[in-house]
Structure 1
Amino acid sequence: MTSDTPADTFPRQYARTLRYTVGAPRSFTVAPDGSRVVFLRSRSGSDRANLLWTLDTATGLEQVAADPAALLGGGEEDLSPAERARRERSREGSAGIVGYALDGAGRLAAFALSGRLFVTDLTTGSARELPAEGPLLDPRPSPDGAYVAYATTGGELRLTRTDGSADWAFAQPDGPGLTWGQAEFIAQEEMSRDRGYWWSPDSDRLLAERADDTPVARWWIADPANPGSAPAEIAYPAAGTDNAEVGLWVLGLDGTRVEVDWDQEAFPYLARVHWSAGGPPLLLVQARDQRSQQILGVDVETGATTVLHAEQDEAWLEVFGGVPAWTPDGKLVRITDEGGARALVVGDHAVTGADLHVRSVLAITDEEVFFTASGGAAETDPEPGWVAVGRISQDGKRLSWESANGEPFTSVTTAVHAAGVTVRSTAEHGRPGAVVQVGRDLPEGVVVDEIAVIDSYAETPVITARPVFRFAGERRIPAAVFLPTGYDRERDGLLPVLMDPYGGPHGQRVVQAHNPHLNSQWFADQGFAVIVADGRGTPGRSPQWEKSIAFDFAGATLDDQADALAALAEEFPLDLGRVAIRGWSYGGYLAALAVLRRPDVFHAAVAGAPVTDWELYDTHYTERYLGHPAERPEVYEANSLTGYAAGLERPLMIIHGLADDNVVAAHTLRLSSALLAAGRPHTVLPLSGVTHMTPQEEVAENLLLLQVDFIKRALAG
């Protein structure tokens, strides 16, 4: 579908469509019996409000299961501050139905809308509101479909009957700062755990988190543009300070309460919880320094825990999606770093080898495990940036790939699977968006018989990304190079260079997909050669590659940007006398670091929402990589930017949203003060009312234009 406004420029379209995600299908679930696929999608590429849809796998026909406009009577959504904060944590920018949960049969879906509770019968498509105390968060039906549990912004965990006959408080906070059934800030922001409670397979109990954030330091986020407004108070666990105290309880519908007992002093982080019919509940708990962790089994009658597996690592231990988990017959599934590779382990044996870098587990069947992986042996990879879905037998003897073209090396693929039905989403760099195919397993389990393709209503970008992928230099740094559309080397000569990295942990930018590269292509079309390089510390290569930045952000990540630039200049028309760098968040940190420490290579920088003082960033992320500030003060000093302020020789623009509660504006203000004290001119662009996501259309559009203008003037000077 094309834009309704033919005069759309890329910055306007990119901002308005939330990076072309509006109208694209997402959040897929296959019903346990394989009869239907459930998903979210808005009506068009210009409508941010998601509807709940189903696809009948027998016929391939789609139908609307819940329409927020109808349920709200055409009224606007009213989001609580807690829901807005939760969406900020999950980087959720859309509207309408943004999440849902199913009962055990996959027939009943529950979801929150405007802080109210709704359920829909997926067999009939009839939706209705249930009595509930709002504003509420994260409603989830019991497996038997008789109840829906939900959390409230007041800290309660409540239950309501799906027949509408009763609603009551199941667990109530007994003091300020306490919440039941909600993931705490650190879990949401850094562990990718947004759940705070889990139903038992028999629907008779719940595992519920009890979090107490009273030990956490309070910060205040002011709105300087509106001095009459009171600052917003947030509990922010900065590096070296106290975290929330997190416990776990087994709550029975018969009124019984049992506290789960583990060594919380040694392992305070509750990173993962899994409860299935394959065995007792599983917990993954981590030490504060994340260099040791345990997988625990829980006795739901007594709350006692048993150590099923323990791990240690000199650098840190990663947390992965989908594990730990049980197979249906009771074997433990996990992902671990073993023999220099990131391996999938089923029971006592690794079932993948050094040729794969396993990233997550997607589904576990009676015989197979579905997982995502990228190349583990970089020297043998034909292309950087591929991500594939593999399915492997539990003994590791049979591996096949769920990729659109039969090969795992030229796309980014993910999937969901249940009951012999697979929903596969595949993106390729030569095609906008992703193709979503629904297929049924054939007897051999290798080929998928296509049932349907789920349409995307996302707008077609007004430009086309043309990445050229390379492994750069001796370290074979994954890179993507973009030249201006219509560029002719003989006519146009060498080009000024714009490095466009994220460059940090959990931020892979070089991927075999189209839409993630549109921003870089647009900058290239303004007259630059743009380079995106994923140096050491970024995911997708090997444990050693990721962990080589331990205690040294400022060294390896910056060196790899400079080395990739030098290596690519041997092939591409790069003017090394005119090199700028831009980035956001960690990329903003890296951009500012580049002009402060390597002005010989980088001649201008735009740093968006940069971390400038790592003692101002949160515990779980910062201490994982840099250690505890009280134990390694020299590491924090060496990796923060303020100490390098006197060395600024190049033009630097710093951009920061004043409402950012992730990387707070104090980061930019402290760096600016240090630069001013050192007599170093620089530019600061404060964004009133803007968070870390910069969701406002006008802001997102104009930020691109302002950056181009600044970089062109800086390199011309």
Structure 2
Amino acid sequence: MRKIFIVFLAISSFVTAQKKDITLAEIWDGTFRTERMNSLNSMNGDFYTLLNFNQQTRSTSVDKYNYATLEKVETIVDSKDLKQLNYFESYEFNNNETKLILGVNSEPIYRHSSLSVFYVYDLASKTLQLIDEDKIQEPTFSPDSKKVVYAKNNNLFIKNLETNEVTQITVDGLKNHIINGICDWVYEEEFAFVKAFDWSADSKNIAFLRFDETEVPTFSMDMTGTDLYPTQQVFKYPKAGEKNAEVTLHVFNLESNKTSKINIGEYEYIPRIKWTNNANVLCATTLNRHQNNLKLYFVNATDFSSEVVLNETDAAYIDVHDNLTFLSDNSFIWTSENDGFNHIYHYSKTGKLINQITTGDWEVTEFYGVNEKTKTVFYQSVEDGSINRSIYAVGLNGKNKKRLVNKIGTNEASFNKNFNYFINTFSDANTPTVYTLHTGEGKQLKEILNNNKLAEKLNLYNTSKKEFFVLKTENGAFNAWMLKPSNFDPSKKYPLFMTQYSGPGSQSVSNSWNSANDYWFQHLAEKGYVIVCVDGRGTGFKGADFKKVTYQELGKYEVVDQIEAAKKLGELSYIDQNEIGIWGWSFGGFMASNCLFKGADVFKMAIAVAPVTSWRFYDSVYTERYMRTPQENPAGYDDNSPINYADKLKGKFLLVHGSGDDNVHVQNTMRLSNALIEANKPFDQAIYPDRTHSIYRGKNTRLHLFTKMTNFIEENLGKTDIEIQSLKI
């Protein structure tokens, strides 16, 4: 017996030496960093450029590469050769690629916006020209490359690069009152753009949006900072049902030096403006406040008349996108859920439907563009199943469809300008990201970059593969994945920890390589938890009906689906139905809170990070798209607010928020905390000072947060004693 015991220990030690568990510190110190290609910019012809950093010279450069060979052709500009700049952080070419705008000293504003100092670099003379002494926003070359328009202090300016003269287009810009050419907070966050101006093709006109946010209610946040006294961040934030900025469309003519206001009928929002290929025709997209009536207007820049060329309506809402593409004859490509699934359509320049290019009970998830020479349309879709993404080409007439990649998983294409080549980014749940070069016809030419070293490193750790499945409940069939401990024993009972986001049109169950959260789930699995993710009703890529069933009742069906999913999973022989927990961030935090309160007999614990706790507190554009206003739909808001169910709390609850969250305000957490206090319900809370919605900035912030959450799970969900786990040799 003694001898056998010694041998067992030796084998056990060998196994332990070979495999180890992922630690929280490793997740956040870069141990599992995925190798990625730098973001590339396609150039004219079969070339692309990369922004590279040279460790040896501590300089940045823009380098030109050949698509066909992937070899470096030349260095276009290197900061070590510039007297005024030691480095630069961004670059943008003019149309004929003779000049570059270089940005430095970037200062973030909100999620997408920032301020920087910008220079124009001339490739021929190798000289730099400062655009403005101050930090500015969104400098953009005119198509003829003679001028740059930019925003500063809520006004628009034009810099003449030939004379160095600056013309101020607008003069009424004022913080928290008038913004010219740059989006307000809610447009930037919910319509996902910052630059609200555009040059006409002949460089004679600049179209821009003007935001009058004078009457928009003001929101303020105390910022603790490092000084003796805190400061306040004060900005305009229209909450659901409150007044939005008044947005108007204007055109500035450079020859007359005159600005004209454009009449485009009745609307609440102008979420996109874009000049067509006809230099005298501007396209403006408008939406009503309910966001279920979208119009495309063509505006004549000569007499400022306008006409509707496309009018799309929906019983629920219409998502704004960037897939409007004008062809040389000014006909245009448009994507729409008109037939119940997102597909590609071709319209004439007068708005007459030429044909629907793609059809089927599946979604187009990305429109890449059109090769007009070959009359070929390129797109990404879920034709291989809603958790996968593949790349396809199809004729402009909708015929001769061809699949361009063979691997099942997540494929993302980056085409060059003439669509002769594309770089494919592939991954699946078990394969770290791989970059490959392909011809426009789909032939793979070579592998550019892989993450084999990361895969080899992960082989040294105890990890498990995600198991994808369809969970069937009385309310539908839902995509799901499960992660079990690497030494899973089906005869044992395991606590279940559920993760989800659940927001409208979102997807958490996808066949793609993991995020940092997935390493956390592996960490938890090795502690003895089974991790499951379920995409219930309201999530995306399964058709408009599946997504829009939650309209006007956010949190009703989604919560039912997570509760029912938990019950169904609890019936599995290896799941302890008395030990089920759930967590989520943002919309997922809203969900986790509701699940714990409304499913008090199902969930034992929950963690809510940066949650919306009442849609009355969230912004107008996002919330009303799915809920209409609280004045119109009070029950939809209140019947699904966790605040109104705080008295039902039975389990353990951790509530986390960043006090500097300009998106989902900490007000949400404070109001829910108040409700819990009034109901005399014990709960745990963590406030991260000055952190934004991502709770990321600052030394050890993410490590601290995930350590806190891990400890909370271990203390309140199931038994994780190693004795219940079988030894795997």
Q: 1:230/1:424 Cα in 2 relative to 1: closer, same or farther (>3 Å)?
A: same
1:705 counterpart residue number: 707
Q: How far apart, in 2, do the equivalents of 1:220 and 1:193 lie?
A: 23
Cα distance, 1:54–1:715 mapped onto 2, change above 3 Å: same
CA RMSD of aligned residues (A): 3.2
1:604 and 2:605 matched: yes
Equivalent residue number for residue 715 of structure 1: 717
Query: After superposition, what is the alpha-carbon deviation per residue over 1:175-221, rounded to whole angstroms, capped at 9, x for unaligned?
Result: 55222221222221011223211122222222122222212111110
Aligned to 2:350: none
The 3-state SS of whatever aligns with 2:672 is helix
After TM superposition, the structure 1 = structure 2 runs for residues 207-222 of structure 1, keeping only pairs within 5 Å, are: 207-222=207-222
Q: 1:699 to 1:241 in 2, by over 3 A?
A: same
Do residues 368 (structure 1) and 376 (structure 2) align?
A: yes
> Which runs of structure 2 are paired with 1:160-559 in the superposition (5 Å)?
160-162=159-161, 165-173=164-172, 175=174, 177-224=177-224, 228-254=229-255, 255-263=257-265, 266-277=266-277, 280-323=281-324, 325-347=325-347, 348=353, 349-366=355-372, 367-375=375-383, 383-403=385-405, 406=406, 409-430=408-429, 433-441=432-440, 446-448=441-443, 450=445, 453=448, 466-474=465-473, 475-490=476-491, 493-516=492-515, 517-559=518-560
TM-score (norm 1): 0.85
d(CA) in 2 for partners of 1:420, 1:365: 6
Check whether the contact 1:130–1:164 (CA below 8 A) recurs between aligned residues.
no
Cα offset, 1:686, TM superposition: 0.6
- Contact 2:436–2:445 (CA<8 Å) still a contact in 1? yes
Contact between 1:109 and 1:119, CA under 8 Å: does it hold in 2? yes
CA distance in 1, matches of 2:67, 2:647: 64
Whether contact under 8 Å (1:250, 1:258) holds in the other structure is yes
C-alpha distance in structure 2 between counterparts of 1:298 and 1:415, whole Å: 32
Change (3 A) 1:171 1:344: same
Q: Does the CA contact (< 8 Å) of 1:410 and 1:428 recur in 2?
A: yes
User: Is the Cα–Cα contact under 8 Å of residues 65 and 121 in structure 1 kept in the other structure?
Assistant: no
Cα offset for 1:447? 2.7
SS of the residue aligned with 1:656?
Answer: strand
Deviates more, 1:670-679 or 1:129-138: 129-138
Cα displacement (A) at 1:71: 6.7
Cα 1:8–1:196 shift into 2, 3 Å: farther
- Cα–Cα, structure 1 residues 420 and 632, in superposed 2: closer, same or farther, change >3 Å? closer
Matched, 1:37 2:32: no
Query: Counterpart in 2 of 1:25?
Result: 37
Deviation string 1:465-505 (CA, Å, 9 cap, x unpaired) is 72211121152211121122343435xx2221111111112
What is the distance in 1 between the residues matched to 2:25 and 2:62?
Answer: 28
**Aligned equivalents of 1:42, 1:598: Cα separation in 2:** 52
Q: Is the 8 A contact 2:155 2:173 kept in 1?
A: no
Check conservation: 1:588, 1:606, Cα contact below 8 A. yes
Question: Could you tell me whether the CA contact under 8 Å between 1:363 and 1:418 is conserved in 2?
Answer: no
How many angstroms apart in 2 are the aligned matches of 1:291 and 1:458? 49
**Structure 1 residues 354, 268: CA separation in 2 closer, same or farther (over 3 Å shift)?**
same
Q: Is the 8 A contact 1:118 1:129 kept in 2?
A: yes
Aligned position for 2:671: 670
Q: 1:55 to 1:341 in 2, by over 3 A?
A: same
SS, match of residue 364 in structure 1: strand
- Alpha carbons of structure 1 residues 391 and 18: separation in structure 2 relative to 1, 3 Å: farther
CA distance in 2, matches of 1:100, 1:228: 38
Alpha carbons 1:414, 1:426 under 8 Å: kept: yes
Aligned to 2:5: none
Residues 507-544 of structure 1: per-residue CA shift (max 9 Å, x gap): 31111111234343333233211112211112211111
Tell me which of the two structures has the higher relative contact order, counting C-alpha pairs closer than 8 angstroms and 6 or more residues apart: 1
2: CA distance, partners of 1:8 / 1:231: 44
Partner Cα separation in structure 2 for residue 457 and residue 67 of structure 1: 31
Q: Structure 1 residues 575-584 or 332-341, which shifts more?
A: 332-341
Q: Secondary structure at the match of 1:476?
A: strand
> 2: CA distance between counterparts of 1:368 and 1:692?
41
Indicate if the aligned counterparts of 2:606 and 2:654 stay in contact, CA closer than 8 A.
yes
Which amino acid in structure 1 is aligned with residue 99 of structure 2?
L
Q: 2:94 aligns with which of 84, 100, 103?
A: 103
CA distance in 1, matches of 2:431, 2:129: 38
- State the identity as a percent: 23
Q: Which amino acid aligns with 1:685?
A: A
C-alpha contact 2:142 2:149 (8 A) present in aligned 1: yes
1:140-161 CA distance string (max 9 Å, x none) = 2222322222212x11222224
Q: Distance in 1 between matches of 2:244 and 2:480?
A: 37
Greater CA drift, 603-612 or 282-291: 282-291
Residue 368 of structure 1 contacts residue 394 of structure 1 at CA under 8 Å; is this kept in 2?
A: yes
The answer to whether the Cα contact below 8 Å between 1:412 and 1:511 also exists between their aligned partners in 2 is no
| C-alpha distance in 1 between matches for 2:163 and 2:570 | 67
Gaps of 5+ in 2: 1-19, 106-115, 348-352, 720-729
In the alignment, is the contact (CA less than 8 A) between 2:32 and 2:454 conserved in 1?
no
Are the structure 2 counterparts of residues 682 and 535 from structure 1 closer, same or farther at C-alpha, using a change threshold of 3 Å? same
1:484/1:144 Cα in 2 relative to 1: closer, same or farther (>3 Å)? Answer: farther
Alpha-carbon offset, residue 451 of structure 1: 6.8
- Deviation digits for residues 344-399 of structure 1 (CA, Å, limit 9, x no counterpart): 11121211112321233222331122223224xxxxx6x54112232222110122
Mark the CA change 1:481 to 1:283 in structure 2 (over 3 Å): closer, same or farther. same
Q: What secondary structure does 1:283 align onto?
A: strand
Partner of 1:83: none
Which string of whole-angstrom CA distances, capped at 9 and with x for unpartnered residues, describes residues 41-98 of structure 1?
Answer: 6679xxx99865432335422366566788798979xxxxxxxxxxxxxxxxxxx63x
CA apart distance, 1:302: 2.5
**What SS does structure 2 have at the residue aligned with 1:203?**
coil
Q: CA deviation at 1:119?
A: 3.7
Deviations 1:542-578 (A, max 9, x none): 1111101111222211122233334455668322221
1:452 and 1:164 map into 2 onto residues whose CA distance is: 48
Query: Is 1:112–2:103 an aligned residue pair?
Result: yes
Residues 404-447 of structure 1: CA deviation (Å, up to 9, x unaligned): xx25x422424334213333342322556533334443xxxx33
Cα gap change, 1:175/1:695 in structure 2, threshold over 3 Å: closer, same or farther?
closer
Counterpart in 1 of 2:108? none
